[in-house]
Structure 1
Amino acid sequence: MRTTVGIVGGGPAGLLLGRLLDNAGIDNVVLERRDRAYVEQRQRAGILEQSTADTLRAAGAGERMDREGLVHHGIELRFARGSHRIDFPALTGGRGVLVYAQTEVVKDLIALRLAEGGPLLFDAQVDAVDGVAGESPVIRYRHQGAERTLHCSYVVGCDGFHGVARQAVPAEVSTHYERAYPYSWLGILADAPPVYEELVYAHSERGFALASVRSPTVSRLYLQVPNGTDPADWSDERIWDELDARFALEADPGWRLARGPVRSKAVLPMRSHVTEPMRYGRLFLAGDAAHIVPPTGAKGLNLAAADVTVLARALIEQQETGSSGLLDAYSDTCLRRVWRAEHFSYLMTTTLHTDPAHSPFDTRLQLAQLARFTSSPHAAAELADNYTGLPLPR
């Protein structure tokens, strides 16, 4: 099989890139190693920046998102047993975020791809990506019991940190930057109506907590826990009790979360990682294949969407004009935004979490930073700008 763009990975990055290229008339093939049911069920991020939502709308993938997504105009910061709201539109000239789970984005893009787009192969195990330093890259994969090859003009690796695509980049041409954090998140999905209107980020002496939403009847909640925590050690009752303790307010001692059956629970490690450059020959890395952020700043999905939006524009320019200017600039263009998001995610993470090595001095510094976010218009505006998403580069 032959195509212009071979896309390894059928998550949101690969599917969105395929949709953008389909709309521009550029043929492409998406290869996903998992089956469709798995891809449509895996739980991931749920916050869409303004630019991500706008990109999905422009791509014709926003109808259900706009119907079912929840627009949020701010977040609540809780610390020192007090509550403080960050008003996004007032600080950003009208921008906000949209709560719409990654699983739903993926379902929408798969449905469009199967109805209107090019090939999307599930259960396609990519074994190797060859020839990317030359003019004729080849993706070698197994599908329906047979070994197959996909000849491409370009290969895009959207298959994550442990995927095959990034392994095709020689070690001597890559630089890796990484930070591991000394804590994890215990995340739960519960059939419980949110009793808060916007996301709540809590700093407490007991550790960090986050209250998010999936729908008017489903809550997504997180607790900071030690690395290596076994979810089985946390009963539903223990989780709810600890969440209430970390969200406690001095001015409203009776405030409690609405409780309900916990549908799923999992422990999520926290780390930051960036690979430079994001291009090698005719291979382009996007999303988690190139960078990972801790989830505190809600940047992972949005960075992936930004990567493939920039790359789609570059491939379209090359196809229409023959110019490789935007393609040659792809890595540098994306990395400027990536490092801005890495810094924001690091700041949110280290400000809100309780590090096991923290002294009382470190805790006071955290509280001083949180007080600055909620008392300085300039600091609040910077937080709001980064949270709602910086403009995509042109």
Structure 2
Amino acid sequence: MTELTSGRSTSRLRQLTAASVGNAVEWFDWYVYSMLAVYFATQFFPKDAENSLVPLLSTLAVFAVGFFARPLGGLVIGALADRFGRKAALSATVGGMGVGSLLIGAAPTYEQVGVLAPALLLVARLVQGASAGGEYAAGSAFLVEAAPEGRRGLFSSFFYASATAANLLAIGLSALLANLLSAEDMNSWGWRVPFLLGAVGALVGLWIRRHAEETLETVPAEKATARRPGFFTFLREHPREAFMVFGITAAPALAFYVWTSYLPTFAGITVGFDPKTGLLSGVIALSWFLLLQPVFGLLSDRIGRKPLLLVFGGAFAVGAVPMLSLLDDTFTRMLVVQLVGLTFLACWSSVSAAVSAELFPASLRSAGIGFPYALSVALFGGTGPYVATWLVSMGAPGAFGWYIAVLALLSFLVYLRLPETAHGPLR
């Protein structure tokens, strides 16, 4: 019995490692683009004599395009994960992200090949966007299916724990290179280093995932052929659940990208905060956010998913405006606002994979999670910084807090309608 228990523990640790390491590699590759865009922008887009921001804006536009490739990845890779298994889909996502990083890291410049350079950048980002969408679809299902009974919340929390660790690594490596290299070296070749390392990391993630165990239960061949789901089968058979995943994600997606990356910029254009000092507050707050993931995931296995989701929704519906109003040009205020916001956000991120996966049967789980989640992230998370900046330009910076609050209220209403799935068997 002891040997059997030990074997199961080892197997589950291997499953958790396969999901977490691969996910960290993927999100490192995703985040490092935004960290280094300011350095490689002029390598892919020609300078405009009238506006020096044109290359950076063009590079960030390609970044945004990656967000809108995520729903396609969530749909296609999610459906493939439901047909052929989570393991194959997860290998495809980490491989795709690595290919995208290699393309960016080794791409020729505009000066060398002209318009082919930004075209390659666009293709690479589309591949990475599709991979990111598929990663959540297959990874959420994999983590929840690999978990022992009563620990699905804990296992699901490692999705955002590993993604946050990747964000911190991307920040740390980018800052290290910027301090070690001259500005000229950083602009000419230094920015390529993290992308090439990310491509190597993808090979490691691919190797680890090849040794994982499949979590999708097999069925007899004749039944599998008859029951193979189509791309939109989840929407025809479970429209309510698909809508719930969309609503569950809407407000948190917006809050996530604001509180983890955009907040110093928002404070800079509204109250004169120096965004450079936001790096330290961001690292501290993200480290705290990472530590909360398994704590809240484990808590959800005891008290349920709904109480944590309701805490998030209620806190941002009531507190978004006061939190943003608290910002000024001091480091202390920025850190407090980030810590408070990310603490409430962790109530969602720690259980999002579990609560979404528990809504669908295994045969439709990845597609059912992937498409509505990625669509919600693209519509609300990917556009959040743009909406905030536009509102500031229109002379209504305070309206952004109300935008977050209204969206949080709508998500709160969805949470109220959710069934509690923490304590029942996985469908």
TM-score bucket (shorter structure): under 0.3
Q: Which is bigger in relative contact order (C-alpha 8 A, separation at least 6)?
A: 2
More helix as a share of residues? 2
What TM-score do you get using the length of structure 1 for normalisation?
Answer: 0.26
What TM-score do you get using the length of structure 2 for normalisation?
Answer: 0.24
